[in-house]
Amino acid sequence: MAIGLEIILKRSNKLYHEGDTISGIICIESPIDVKHEGVFMTIEGTVDLQISTQNVGTFEAFYNSVKPIQLMMSSLEIAKPGRFPSGVTEIPFEAPVKPLLNKVLYESYHGVFINILYLLKAVIKRNFLNKDIHKSLEFVIENKPNPEVSISKVDKFIINQNTLANVNDNSNIPKFHIIGTVDTVICSITQPFLGELKIEHCDIPIKSIDLQLVRVETCGCVEGFSKDATEIQNIQIAEGNVSTGISIPIYMVFPRLFSCCTTKTANFKIEFEVNISITFVDDHLVTENFPITLFR
């Protein structure tokens, strides 16, 4: 006998801000009458921290002390013990979106070593002869727009064999000169990352130019911190023997959930960078790095 349990929110985009009311219905579908011991819901928000495997040995004590950070927790009794009739039963619910005391509701974020998740968890309690029925649904928390953030000026850059860092011997690197601009490094997460670049001179052909968005996740405690940079997305903006003197547009949209506002706390940090990578036909790779600040 299969009993269906669904959580349906009134907002189809499942998007909420602190101070909103989250509401919807619990939908229970059963082919026959069903006895139950009550229907309950919890609304949870947590920050899950994880240490990369390469750091586990180094931070063994630290690894054991990293615990989820609870941001939000509330419980609702949706229905008292009784019976559900055959067919579909819909029970409404609502609750305020508010943090625990002295906590902040950070933006929803799906990372590699840091995840900020907000979940609705519903359960139909059954007697000891039957298993409880569980259902969960993720909803999204975003910061309210902040119109007071000042956006920095256009950032100009030059890339050539003389500007490269972390190079032991640049005699093997082909001579080249690339100029460009990015509109700003203080970026609204709802607007694309924009700019342009131009190849003024290059001794050998270029194979590819790529735009890479990188997350930099730092988490830790008093025993130490672990910092890891991983790729979110890579966009090829030029391929083949790119002609000189042509302006190549830079355009990248920040992906929902995989990026969020730049966040810095005592226990973790979520930061972002943009890399412009140029690959030559001989597979030499040069990269220009732009640490960026995201806001909403």
Tens of pLDDT, residue by residue over 158-200, are 988 877 776 655 667 778 899 999 999 999 999 999 999 999 9
Average pLDDT, the chain: 89
Question: CA triplet 35, 134, 41: central angle to 5 degrees?
Answer: 85
- Is the model's pTM score more than 0.75? yes
Query: What is the pLDDT at residue 224?
Result: 67
Number of Cβ within 10 Å of residue 225's Cβ equals 16
DSSP codes of every residue in the chain: ---EEEEEESSTT-EE-TT-EEEEEEEEEESS-EEES-EEEEEEEEEEE---HHHHTTTHHHHHH--PEEEEEEEEEEE-SEEEPSEEEEEEEEEE--PPTT---PPPEE-SSEEEEEEEEEEE---TTS--EEEEEEEEE-PPP-TTPPPPPPEEEEEETTT--S-S-GGGSPPEEEEEEES-SEEETTS-EEEEEEEEEESS-EEEEEEEEEEEEEEEETTEEEEEEEEEEEEEEEESSPPTT-EEEEEEPPPBTTB-S-EE-SSEEEEEEEEEEEEETT--EEEEEEEEEEE-
The answer to whether residue 231 scores a pLDDT higher than 80 is yes
Residue range(s) in the chain whose domain bears CATH number 2.60.40.640? 4-141, 155-295
Task: Measure Cα distances from 38 to 81, 123, 226 in Å.
Answer: 4, 8, 44
Fold of 4-141: Immunoglobulin-like (2.60.40)
Task: Measure Cα distances from 156 to 126, 182, 198 in Å.
Answer: 64, 7, 12
**pLDDT tens digits, residue range 18-50?**
999 999 999 999 999 989 999 999 999 999 998
The answer to whether residue 114 scores a pLDDT higher than 60 is yes
The answer to whether residue 56 scores a pLDDT higher than 60 is no
Distance CA(96)–CA(84), nearest Å, equals 27
The answer to whether residue 64 scores a pLDDT higher than 60 is no
pLDDT band at 61 (very low <50, low <70, confident <90, very high): very low
Query: What is the pLDDT at residue 128?
Result: 80
Task: Measure Cα distances from 241 to 7, 245, 259, 279 in Å.
Answer: 53, 13, 32, 11
Fold of 155-295: Immunoglobulin-like (2.60.40)
Q: Looking at this protein, which amino acid is placed at residue 166?
A: N
